[in-house]
Amino acid sequence: QIQGTIFPAPNFNPIMDAQLLGGALQGISCEKDVLIDILTQRCNSQRLMIAEAYRDMYGRDLIMDLKENLSHHFKEVMVGLMYPPAAYDAHELWHALKGVDTEENCLIDILASRSNMEIFQMKEAYLREYNNDLQQDIDSETSGHFRDTLMNLAQGTRMEGYADPSTAVQDAMILWEACQQKTGEHKNMLQMILCNKSYQQLWMVFQEFQNISGQDIVDAINECYDGYFQELLVAIVLCVRDKPSYFAYRLYNAIHDLGFHNKTVIRILIARSEIDLMNIRQRYKERYGKSLFHDIKHFASGHYESALLAICAGDAEDY
């Protein structure tokens, strides 16, 4: 059962919510608790209706008002919650590509994990919001086989639901050869299989790879390749196997190895909040012994912490 942590609020009244937000944002001191109580306890489509009611009521844009009244990471969380999912992905990719430094990990997280439909919608949102073509921006801001693989993922042309056992062995042989030879052509064949075959097909391919080589595909990739190309290939494999586990691993890494990498934590919590954040929480606890709730509480503070914990929707026993 794949489940998020944020659901549509019952007895939802967008006009009342818009009024409360207006009051909270226009007071002498901004009432941040009110913002958290409303925006983290409504689903995305409800938040968009609140923004519409807010515009009708005050003649102003809610996102602009949040940006003006809030600061730092708390602002990023509250503003992030207001974007529709495709626009949020587009927003994150734009900043990852066009910021001072290219944020490769953000590109990996998003493009390795999204479905064809999600990629299609994200490209539309990217064009609409930034008047740029996502694939052209990837092409100009990244390089090498890392770029080729991202470009392939950004096409959103993965086969869906189709699996052919007879070609699984053949694909596994190509992957195995690509890990031995490492020529440009082999790297190309490797990423073509990982980007274009269906998840069902790749499950079989990875099994056959294990049979042929006696090695797990992730270990083989880690041994043979390095840099962002290697990280991207591994991310694709992990997402094929279990997306919640992949995101639990990315969160743990962001919290512990990168000294609480705020952008990554915020992005994953918001983007997965209505998809599989409940499962991510379970995998996190199973794998790392401590709950995600506990680790966020330990590293974040203030209203920022409260907002993240509200999205995470942990319980006291989680702590």
* Exposure letters 278-312 (e unless 16+ CB within 10 A, then b): bbbbbbbbeebebbbbbbbbebbeebbbbbbbbbb
* Exposure letters 205-239 (e unless 16+ CB within 10 A, then b): bbebbeeebeeebeebbeebbeebbbbbbbbbbbb
Does 259 show up as a binding residue in the annotation? yes
* Cα angle 230-212-243, degrees, rounded to a multiple of 5: 45
Number of Cβ within 10 Å of residue 6's Cβ equals: 26
Write down the residue that tokens 């082999």 correspond to.
186
Residues 97/107, Cβ–Cβ less than 8 Å:
yes
Residues 299/309, Cβ–Cβ less than 8 Å:
no
Q: Which helix (H) or strand (E) holds 55?
A: helix 44-58
Residues 36/307, Cβ–Cβ less than 8 Å:
yes
Measured CA to CA, the distance from residue 212 to residue 62 in angstroms comes to 57
Determine the length of the chain: 319
Alpha helices (H) along 131-276: 134-141, 144-155, 165-181, 184-196, 199-213, 217-224, 227-241, 243-252, 262-272
Q: How far is it between the farthest Cα atoms of the chain?
A: 69
What's the distance, CA 145 to chain centroid? 22
Measured CA to CA, the distance from residue 309 to residue 283 in angstroms comes to 17
Measured CA to CA, the distance from residue 290 to residue 219 in angstroms comes to 26
Binding positions:
259
Binding positions for Ca(2+):
259
